[in-house]
Structure 1
Amino acid sequence: MRTVRRWAAETAGGLPAGFWYLWTGTLINRIGSFVLILLSVYLTHERHFTPTFAGLVIGLWGAGGALGTLLGGVLADRWGRKPTYLTFLYTSAALMLALGFAQSAPIVAGTVFVLGMAAEGSRPAMSALMIDIVGPHERLRAFSLNYWVINLGFAFSAIAAGALASVDYLLIFIGDAATTAAAATVVAIKVRDTHRSTRAPRPAAPTPAAGSLFSVFTDRVFLGFFACNLLLALVFMQHISTLPLAMAADGLSTGTYGLVIALNGILIVAGQLFVPKLLRHLPRAHALALGAVLVGVGFALTAFAGTAWFYAISVVIWTLGEMADAPSKSALLADLSPSWMRGRYQGASSLAWSMASFGAPIIGAAVQQHLGNATLWLGCLVVSLIVAAGHLLMAPAREHRVVELRAAEAVAPAI
């Protein structure tokens, strides 16, 4: 019992109350994230739109999200973390309801595009707010806990969404809107904004950041991080695009794919809380490199898979890589971001996942069709090894940047 208490204290103890209110808001929001899970099914089966139109609408969500993350990042820095977060979240709730009652194809498409902007636009502000609240040495734990609760909420919402839709599809829109508004209300009441005016004195930071979003993309240290993030995301997103096609080609049903891919969420929920302790004494670059290698090896094994259990082993391996990569990467991005530009850096970083969501299915399907499964999956290993090498090679410049930023901001903190 004493061991359990010690583990709980090491995992979750000592974090600020503001973090836990953000954590609670994330849990509430993710538990009710019904709409995106069933949107394509709703459009084709309930509304009888064509699969092509449904695919276009899902793409519009991603396109809106790419724009929203950049806009949300800028507003988080200029206007404030909390007002940006609340505005986007309450707007998302209203648009969820509107989408549930939308009838014509143009209105559905336009609503989804704006909804994607609002839903994804809240994320940079939320991340920047959490970074402001949690000290540098506790961020790995904080991001691990946040990553864990996102997956826990998603696992619940995936089950609940099907149950609600079986009664009435309108309930998934009402439920999503209600939980989104509830999450915003928790933050509105319990979390104070951490952002001061951009007119506040700024330290002489060692980045080229002059305050604009464009300046983020002239930061060479960040661009190296962004490139690694994008390449690994292109590999990781194959699990929802080409992996089901590979399993189908081996005669496995969609139900089997669902069971195999469910291992990803189960492992994260069961094991993510142990990750901070395992990674605590591992240099950050080594943790990121290890994560990339495991992701690559896991997907490479798919080239040799032909049975459900073999596919399951590959999922377990790349999930372990994801668990090492995600919190370490989030903590690194937090440390590489000047405090007065955290929103912009979070938004710019999220763009990598938006790009991967669009590009991974196209690239993966083309390789799979023209060069074969083995080339696709072994290619994933090659890309992942390049990412691992990139993390190791860029580590000195990154850590030098972190030290300089902390020293500069200790003299003249911006927030």
Structure 2
Amino acid sequence: MKKVLLLYRNAFGGLSKPAWMMSLVMLINRSGSMVTPFLSLYVTDMLGYSLKEAGIILSIYGMGSVCGSFLGGWLTDRIGHFRVQFVALTLGGLLYFLLLNLKQFEYLAMGVFILSLVNDTLRPANSASIAHYARPENMTRAFSLNRMAINLGFSVGPAVGGFLAAISYRWLFVADGATCIAAGIFFFLYFRNQQGHRPESKSRQEISDAPAVRSPYRDGYYILFAILCSCFAIIFFQLFTTLPLYYRQAYVLSESSIGALMALNGLIVFLMEMIIVYLVGEKIKKSILIAAGVLILGVSFMLLNLVQHLAILYVSMLLLSIAEILAMPFMNTIAVERSSPSNRGAYIGLYTISYSVAHVIAPFLGTTIIAAYGFTTLWWSTGALALVTAIGFYWVIGKIEPNKRTLKPIVAAGGSMVSG
């Protein structure tokens, strides 16, 4: 027991106070994560729309996420990560109360788009903030701490949400909105006097003399990396889109049982991620860790076809959680290490856009495959995509990693940028 406690102490040691406070903000925020996990059930069971229409709503949520990620990255580089996060948290919380009263399909779709846009401006700003406050040697662990807080919140949110949904779906929106606003207020009170969250002001001469900043959209390897992240996310997001429908249709689980299963994911990641990152983060190449995580993710879904028993749902969720631990923290670190302070918002913005694109594709593709061929075909398809994606990650990260410290932007004639 002493060795275990020492291991946890070492894993959490050395992290800055702002990094801890940022994680506390995300814990408050994500403890109310109740609407998104139950959105497909809300649209079909409560509002009476078809499975196809539910897929459209979820894809529109993803479109808002794409726009929000791009906007969040752009705003972060211009007005700073503090303002972006505060507005996203408070305004996003208010929008949940508005969405609660939208029932007509067109208004619901518009409300979901705006809510997702505002919510996802938070992500690039939050990542830039963590990168700013973390010590360089603790970068991956700082991101893992933040993800740990998010997953602890996510283990609470769906579990409580399942019980609230059994009473009334209305309470899901109220709880989600209230926790967003509470997180925004706490964030403002602690970080308003912190230094470094505003972009550096430069004179016109300094701006004119400075070399052009490399754009992530001209970084070929990074674009391929972002595409692969999107493929990974398409598979992973079945957790939020089609998996609850599978639980309901194949196993006839109640909302509370579905919430408990999904909360298990957050609990496992909360308990294990920091330890695993601490033990293997500096010993095994990121290309191997991420590729292994993607392969395990594919296996977690294919298992659902191989064994038909309630217990396999828990085994599958365990594997999915391990896959998340091995892949996601190191993907985030690559996005930060590939950038510089002057273009970090854009680089992280493109990384989050890759996930947002998956928000569009995952529900539409998943529900379309289910409607045409059933859940069995969907789970085999995710396994095949995971295999291809894992191979792609292993190759492209092998190209990125050796050059991450020596890569410098080269100013071509006329001021255009090419990758070094």
Range class of TM-score, shorter chain: 0.7 to 0.9
Q: Which residue of 2 aligns with 1:87?
A: 87
Deviation at 1:389, TM superposition (A): 2.2
Distance in 2, Cα, partners of 1:365 & 1:180:
29
Q: Which amino acid aligns with 1:223?
A: I
Deviation at 1:218, TM superposition (A): 2.1
SS at match of 1:147: helix
Q: Which amino acid aligns with 2:154?
A: F
Contact persistence 2:59–2:361 (CA under 8 A): no
Q: Which residue of 2 aligns with 1:356?
A: 358
- Note closer, same or farther for the CA distance 1:361–1:172 as it changes in structure 2 (3 Å cut): closer
Deviation at 1:127, TM superposition (A): 0.9
Q: Which residue of 2 aligns with 1:341?
A: 343
Q: Which residue of 2 aligns with 1:413?
A: none
In the TM superposition, 1:10-409 aligns within 5 A as 10-39=10-39, 48=47, 50-51=49-50, 56-101=56-101, 107-164=107-164, 171-191=171-191, 192=194, 193-197=196-200, 199=202, 209-210=213-214, 215-243=215-243, 251-255=250-254, 261-280=262-281, 281-367=283-369, 376-404=378-406
Instruction: Show structure 1 runs of 5+ residues with no match.
Output: 409-415
Distance in 2, Cα, partners of 1:336 & 1:356:
22
Contact persistence 2:155–2:262 (CA under 8 A): no
- Note closer, same or farther for the CA distance 1:397–1:258 as it changes in structure 2 (3 Å cut): same
Distance in 1, Cα, partners of 2:235 & 2:164:
33
Deviation at 1:20, TM superposition (A): 1.2
Q: Which amino acid aligns with 2:28?
A: I
- Note closer, same or farther for the CA distance 1:170–1:349 as it changes in structure 2 (3 Å cut): same
Contact persistence 1:303–1:374 (CA under 8 A): yes
Contact persistence 2:25–2:187 (CA under 8 A): yes
Identity of aligned residues (%): 27
Once the two structures are superposed, residues 335-366 of structure 1 have per-residue CA deviations (whole angstroms, 9 ceiling, x without a partner) of 11222122222222122222222223443455
- Note closer, same or farther for the CA distance 1:338–1:248 as it changes in structure 2 (3 Å cut): same
Contact persistence 1:144–1:275 (CA under 8 A): no
Deviation at 1:319, TM superposition (A): 2.4
Distance in 2, Cα, partners of 1:271 & 1:190:
28
After TM superposition, the structure 1 stretch with the greater mean CA deviation from structure 2, 308-317 or 34-43, is 34-43
Once the two structures are superposed, residues 16-55 of structure 1 have per-residue CA deviations (whole angstroms, 9 ceiling, x without a partner) of 1111111111011111233334455556666x56446665
Distance in 2, Cα, partners of 1:112 & 1:245:
20
Q: TM-score, normalised by structure 2?
A: 0.82
Q: Which amino acid aligns with 1:6?
A: L
Distance in 2, Cα, partners of 1:308 & 1:363:
26
Q: Which amino acid aligns with 2:31?
A: I
After TM superposition, the structure 1 stretch with the greater mean CA deviation from structure 2, 108-117 or 96-105, is 96-105
Once the two structures are superposed, residues 268-306 of structure 1 have per-residue CA deviations (whole angstroms, 9 ceiling, x without a partner) of 233223222232311211111221222223333333222
Distance in 1, Cα, partners of 2:175 & 2:262:
25
After TM superposition, the structure 1 stretch with the greater mean CA deviation from structure 2, 65-74 or 289-298, is 289-298
Deviation at 1:169, TM superposition (A): 5.4
Deviation at 1:10, TM superposition (A): 1.4
Contact persistence 1:73–1:343 (CA under 8 A): yes
- Note closer, same or farther for the CA distance 1:244–1:157 as it changes in structure 2 (3 Å cut): closer
- Note closer, same or farther for the CA distance 1:352–1:5 as it changes in structure 2 (3 Å cut): same
After TM superposition, the structure 1 stretch with the greater mean CA deviation from structure 2, 101-110 or 119-128, is 101-110
After TM superposition, the structure 1 stretch with the greater mean CA deviation from structure 2, 295-304 or 346-355, is 295-304
CA RMSD of aligned residues (A): 3.4
Q: Which amino acid aligns with 1:127?
A: S
Distance in 2, Cα, partners of 1:151 & 1:243:
18
After TM superposition, the structure 1 stretch with the greater mean CA deviation from structure 2, 31-40 or 146-155, is 31-40
Contact persistence 1:133–1:194 (CA under 8 A): no
Q: Which amino acid aligns with 1:132?
A: H
Q: Which residue of 2 aligns with 1:8?
A: 8
Contact persistence 1:198–1:340 (CA under 8 A): no
Distance in 2, Cα, partners of 1:228 & 1:353:
10
- Note closer, same or farther for the CA distance 1:405–1:190 as it changes in structure 2 (3 Å cut): farther
SS at match of 1:404: coil
Distance in 1, Cα, partners of 2:92 & 2:355:
20
Distance in 1, Cα, partners of 2:280 & 2:288:
9
- Note closer, same or farther for the CA distance 1:294–1:163 as it changes in structure 2 (3 Å cut): closer
Deviation at 1:257, TM superposition (A): 6.1
Once the two structures are superposed, residues 242-274 of structure 1 have per-residue CA deviations (whole angstroms, 9 ceiling, x without a partner) of 55666677x532347666555433322332232
Once the two structures are superposed, residues 309-357 of structure 1 have per-residue CA deviations (whole angstroms, 9 ceiling, x without a partner) of 2343333223211211111111111111222122222222122222222
Distance in 1, Cα, partners of 2:309 & 2:167:
35
Contact persistence 1:93–1:177 (CA under 8 A): yes
Aligned length: 400
Once the two structures are superposed, residues 78-98 of structure 1 have per-residue CA deviations (whole angstroms, 9 ceiling, x without a partner) of 111111111222211222233
Q: Which residue of 2 aligns with 1:412?
A: none
- Note closer, same or farther for the CA distance 1:386–1:170 as it changes in structure 2 (3 Å cut): closer
SS at match of 1:8: helix
Q: Which residue of 2 aligns with 1:411?
A: none
